[in-house]
Structure 1
Amino acid sequence: MKASVIEMFLVLLVTGIYSNKEMAKKSKRPKFTVPQINCDVKAGKIINLEFIAKCPAGCQDPKYHVYGTGIYASYSSVCGAAVHSGVLDNSGGKILVQKVAGQSGYKGSYSNGVQSLSLPRWRESFIVSESQPKKGVTYPSILTYSSPKTPAAEADETTKAYQKPSTPETTAEPVMLMQVLSNLEAEAAHTALTKSSLLAPSASTSPRPQLMGHRSWEMGFVPKEELSTQALEPVSQGDPNCKVDLSFLIDGSSSLGKRRFRIQKQFLADVVQALDIGPAGPLMGVVQYGDNPATQFNLKTHMNSRDLKAAIEKITLRGGLSNAGRAISFVTKNFFSKANGNRSGAPNVAVVLLDGWPTDKVEETARLARESGINIFFITIEAAVENEKQYMLEANFANKAVCRTNGYYSFNVQSWFGLHKTVQPLVKRICDTDRLACSKTCLNSADIGFIIDGSSSVGTSNFRTVLQFVANLSKEFEISDTDTRIGAVQYTYEQRLEFGFDKYHTKADILNAIKSVGYWSGGTSTGAAIHYALEQLFKKSKPNKRKLMILITDGRSYDDVRIAAMAAHQKGVITYAIGVAWAAQDELDIIATHPARNHSFFVDEFDNLYTSVPKIIQNICMEFNSQPRN
């Protein structure tokens, strides 16, 4: 019996010693606690160079700004960057953050539901990866913030008084944070839909600490360091991968109502946030239409997303009908001008938002807009149902208006409450500049060669009239090295290249060059002149350019024009034949591209040449736009 008791005692003793050793081991290895951070915490506010943190859900929201792609400026939301990079989804989770050197530039992009912004430079960067701890690295359980207290420490002191240090001239008054919270809740109830504005401290007023927006509610009082950081907030130069000049035509008709008008404004604000507005990227203006259109602000009024969203919030409903056709015409004539901030190197885009259907016609005005290079998108919300279609002035109006009828340029939204789903698809299409087909127009996409008859029958005075005709036609085109280019050949029995396509790149230089062409005088070998132009002028045309030959003659050719004309047609050169006085109509028809009635013109006197300019331009553009829009 005694032996059993002794054995039991020894077993208990050994077990106790072992347990104590295990407890001692465990006490030597304290459990690592992953610190929590909020969605709005910027990497620059955390002093630690490398840390693991846990992000909450919901950090995909555009209000948590992110700058850069892959490597992010430290002014970015840590958790927002994690979602953008794909390390987290919008449900949150743990991440590993490493600080790195500042970059000379940060490229904005859209990824995983987050639009990051571009930034020229910033003093510090960071990268985000999955939370796999490195061997031998100890990560902090409590993060060190650049402000005097961490958010956790401030939260623990919500019942303590905040005392501002007294100065010789003022007496500090304690302010209870719980009282401030209560006041803010009351103010929020009073202001309803308005956002808190930044309240700047004043040296000559009450010594109470001032509050800054909603962050004071979440994190306590904002220290001076935070004030300086706010002042240094970077202004994006815009996304260079989306350099477009954009006009939104918003529906301000009475039938819309204030509620749906607010939804429309929120849609605009979301688009602005996703676009990353700036002088190096997209610029945007807004036109509101009802009975008549009016510009709310143009392309150069607001140069960043923040200012643009604030301006959108102030737009008020105009009322009236839904005259979208009149609005498109207004934008074509008035909006995309240099005075309004239009940039020659940026495609022009017009997005028309429409409640139901337009109360006027859009087909003709939209055609003119497309011909001037405007890429028209249509967003139709709550389209006409079957019994309402009788009230529409134009059936299938959206397809008659948009840049292409393949569905790429039109959106049909079933309900105003589903409009927000269109934001990202629209932004993606607007920024895909290679697919903005209407950027190439009849006026900016050709190499035009003038073949000018300088024979003796023309005479010096009439030759100057011909040159003026050439100048009048040239004035109608957008001339540059990347737009329409102009060349000229003068011929008699012989041929002379006056200037080639690569000689002059501005309209002023072209007009001066035309004015300077000297009259040659001689015979009329039109066939040889066409052959010469194909070899010396059009052989140097750019592959992506339309090739237009405009030949002006006052008489029948001494040589055969058939073979030369056929060679031009086979090489894809669109030929216009302009005859004056004694020119032979049958010969003009042979030279002209089929159908001859659209490419052959005749006037009885040189002084009447100017009358054919509008018709020639119209036919050039009609032919360009007759190409399938699919």
Structure 2
Amino acid sequence: MGTVVLTMKASVIEMFLVLLVTGIHSNKEMTKKIKRLKFNVPQINCDVKAGKIINPEFIVKCPAGCQDPKYHVYGTDVYASYSSVCGAAVHSGVLDNSGGKILVRKVAGQSGYKGSYSNGVQSLSLPRWRESFIVSESKPQKGVTYPSALTYSSSKTPAAKADLWSTPTYTSSQNRPGANPGEMDFWKPGSVLLDAGFVPKEELSTQSLEPVSLGDPNCKVDLSFLIDGSSSIGKRRFRIQKQFLADIAQALDIGPAGPLMGVVQYGDNPATHFNLRTHTNSRDLKTAIEKITQRGGLANAGRAISFVTKNFFSKANGNRGGSPNVAVVLVDGWPTDKVEEASRLARESGINIFFITIEGAVENEKQYVLEPNFVNKAVCRTNGFYSFHVQSWFGLHKTLQPLVKRVCDTERLACSKTCLNSADIGFVIDGSSSVGTGNFRTVLQFVANLSKEFEISDTDTRVGAVQYTYEQRLEFGFDKYSSKADVLNAIKRVGYWSGGTSTGAAINYALEQLFQKSKPNKRKLMILITDGRSYDDVRIPALAAHLKGVITYAVGVAWAAQEELEVIATHPARDHSFFADDFDNLYQYVPRIIRNICTEFNSQPRN
């Protein structure tokens, strides 16, 4: 009997141990499943917007190729939830275009999102949005549980999921058919659990998304408004001035592909309210203008123009280089300092100065005007294109459309042209046998040194080159290269030809092959370099060049004939012809030639 009892006890203990071991193993398997589920990172497509995902914080995996502009992004650092999650990750620099894992955290909506270009993605501006998000590297935070599948908002259940779950939405994993024990509870009333590969339909927003313009490409100018904040203007007229600016901002259609606008207010001293980089759409700009407060003090417009010339149109402040620079100066009555010298320096820096004067000095006030006729002294054309006079502040709005039309007329913005950015320069290079290989390389270095002094682009100065002996060869035309680096490399690659010296034929060839294709609004400069007397006549070809408006500089070396250089050169010959006794001394003439080119340009009548 005792043996039986012991045997039964042993069996019970053995069964208990088996159950215990089985339970532990089962729990381990369950723990493994939970762990596997916890670290399963959902993958989303490039076009999934953060606003479609209900989860407040989550880790996802983005595919490659989300740098595409069709995946819209709004904001910088903090993004509107209408943005592509993966597009924002690329813009912020957390991911590159090859994809990867990211951590996304929802934050409150912002009153404004600034657009910017970063890491190959152009984000857009947005006035406001109800929800934002921040993207960072996928480093899980302690104590935070991240979902293995995402909860998407949806106006209706997708058909594929409706077929699987025809029953009402479940709120608990224990009640849902087929639920795994221990599975995390994602289901909430009014939501649908989607698998990681599902791409939701376009977000149905309760707030309409206004399309953000990239700006009017037909008016790509960099614009500064200098507004009068002096004490004499008064609060009421200052408000009228601000409203005028806001209307201008609206009419111009501000954007990175069109006009950009900044505002400087002047009184005793000028101050920048915002530069070209600060606001890149009309709506944000108008909001910023409304917040401007009056500074008071004197009306030192001249000091403000100097300030803008030195500080405003810099690359750091958003200046785009190839776009015309325009400064519009509003003056209540008259300035309390002189503007002529400051405006001249601004014009020589390539800034188009416009003046809008309101009201003005009556007879007994004219004694206080420091610089009579200051407007005509300030602008580069006194034909009325660059100036407006308004009898009363209440008539200021009448200048809005004419001003917008003029600042956008880039072909007529002559004040943005300087001696260094407004020419088509054709080099005509003697490659005859008497030059020799070594000296020819010295000539090319001379051509490169001259070219370096100019602002070269397809909208600024352009450079072309012809080499000649008995025959002629177009090395490159004006439209071949649009950067200084490319032009300098092209000059370096020119090969020495060797042969006779037919300078007259070379001038005719340059007129046909280079200057025939010059732009109408460009100054035409021919710089001819030769080391000897021509075998053919140069008089008739040189006269043809002069009659066609080509300003010709003749540079002779060694055995060149001085009287021939003077015939080729534009009148007066002393300013357009140069002679070096040795090729190694050519470099000395670079600053003289540049100085003469600029002196001649600046001496032209302003009308």
Check whether TM > 0.5.
yes
Contact 2:322/2:460 (<8 A) preserved: no
Call closer, same or farther: CA 1:256–1:470 in 2, change over 3 Å. Answer: farther
SS at structure 1 position matched to 2:255: coil
- What is the one-letter code of the residue matched to 2:357? T
Aligned match of 1:516: 493
SS at structure 1 position matched to 2:467: strand
Residues 379-528 of structure 1 aligned to structure 2 (within 5 Å): 379-438=356-415, 442-455=419-432, 458=435, 460=437, 462-521=439-498, 524-528=501-505
Aligned match of 2:353: 376
Name the count of aligned residue pairs: 405
- What is the one-letter code of the residue matched to 1:589? E
The alpha carbon displacement at 1:522 in A equals 5.3
Call closer, same or farther: CA 1:312–1:367 in 2, change over 3 Å. Answer: same
Residues 97-496 of structure 1 aligned to structure 2 (within 5 Å): 229-230=206-207, 232-253=209-230, 255-256=232-233, 260-318=237-295, 321-343=298-320, 346-438=323-415, 442-455=419-432, 458=435, 460=437, 462-496=439-473
Q: Deviations over 1:128-182 (max 9, x none)?
A: xxxxxxxxxxxxxxxxxxxxxxxxxxxxxxxxxxxxxxxxxxxxxxxxxxxxxxx
The alpha carbon displacement at 1:512 in A equals 0.5
Which segment is superposed worse, 511-520 or 579-588? 579-588
Contact 1:371/1:621 (<8 A) preserved: no
Q: Deviations over 1:165-214 (max 9, x none)?
A: xxxxxxxxxxxxxxxxxxxxxxxxxxxxxxxxxxxxxxxxxxxxxxxxxx
SS at structure 1 position matched to 2:444: helix
Partners in 2 of 1:513 and 1:609 — Cα distance? 20
Partners in 1 of 2:356 and 2:510 — Cα distance? 47
- What is the one-letter code of the residue matched to 2:227? I
The alpha carbon displacement at 1:487 in A equals 1.2
The alpha carbon displacement at 1:615 in A equals 4.5
Name the Cα RMSD after superposition.
3.5
Gap runs ≥5 in structure 1: 1-118, 120-226
The alpha carbon displacement at 1:595 in A equals 2.8
The alpha carbon displacement at 1:236 in A equals 3.8
Residues 546-625 of structure 1 aligned to structure 2 (within 5 Å): 546-580=523-557, 583-603=560-580, 606=583, 609-624=586-601
Partners in 2 of 1:361 and 1:612 — Cα distance? 37
Partners in 1 of 2:268 and 2:497 — Cα distance? 58
Call closer, same or farther: CA 1:302–1:422 in 2, change over 3 Å. Answer: same
Partners in 1 of 2:585 and 2:417 — Cα distance? 31
Partners in 2 of 1:606 and 1:326 — Cα distance? 47
- What is the one-letter code of the residue matched to 1:565? A
Contact 1:406/1:629 (<8 A) preserved: no
Q: Deviations over 1:359-411 (max 9, x none)?
A: 44433443454455433210122333445445545432212222422112211
Aligned match of 1:47: none
SS at structure 1 position matched to 2:247: helix
SS at structure 1 position matched to 2:356: strand
- What is the one-letter code of the residue matched to 1:511? L
Partners in 2 of 1:602 and 1:254 — Cα distance? 60
Q: Deviations over 1:267-299 (max 9, x none)?
A: 322322333323343221112334554432111
- Normalising by structure 2, we get a TM-score of 0.58
Contact 2:270/2:304 (<8 A) preserved: yes
Q: Deviations over 1:27-62 (max 9, x none)?
A: xxxxxxxxxxxxxxxxxxxxxxxxxxxxxxxxxxxx
1:530 aligns with 2:498: no
Call closer, same or farther: CA 1:469–1:359 in 2, change over 3 Å. Answer: farther
Partners in 1 of 2:473 and 2:246 — Cα distance? 58
The alpha carbon displacement at 1:313 in A equals 3.0
Partners in 2 of 1:365 and 1:580 — Cα distance? 42
Partners in 1 of 2:447 and 2:248 — Cα distance? 45
Call closer, same or farther: CA 1:605–1:296 in 2, change over 3 Å. Answer: farther
SS at structure 2 position matched to 1:354: strand
Aligned match of 2:41: none
Partners in 1 of 2:389 and 2:237 — Cα distance? 16
Q: Percent identity?
A: 88
- What is the one-letter code of the residue matched to 1:502? D
SS at structure 1 position matched to 2:319: coil
Partners in 2 of 1:554 and 1:387 — Cα distance? 68
The alpha carbon displacement at 1:576 in A equals 1.4
Call closer, same or farther: CA 1:505–1:279 in 2, change over 3 Å. Answer: closer
Partners in 2 of 1:626 and 1:313 — Cα distance? 43
Call closer, same or farther: CA 1:328–1:609 in 2, change over 3 Å. Answer: farther
SS at structure 1 position matched to 2:570: coil
Call closer, same or farther: CA 1:602–1:317 in 2, change over 3 Å. Answer: farther
Partners in 1 of 2:564 and 2:380 — Cα distance? 38
Q: Deviations over 1:76-123 (max 9, x none)?
A: xxxxxxxxxxxxxxxxxxxxxxxxxxxxxxxxxxxxxxxxxxx9xxxx
Call closer, same or farther: CA 1:572–1:273 in 2, change over 3 Å. Answer: closer
Contact 1:372/1:443 (<8 A) preserved: no
- What is the one-letter code of the residue matched to 1:244? V
Contact 2:226/2:330 (<8 A) preserved: yes
The alpha carbon displacement at 1:513 in A equals 0.8
SS at structure 2 position matched to 1:366: helix
Which segment is superposed worse, 567-576 or 255-264? 255-264
Q: Deviations over 1:238-267 (max 9, x none)?
A: 344544321112234455455544443233
- What is the one-letter code of the residue matched to 1:235? V
The alpha carbon displacement at 1:465 in A equals 3.8
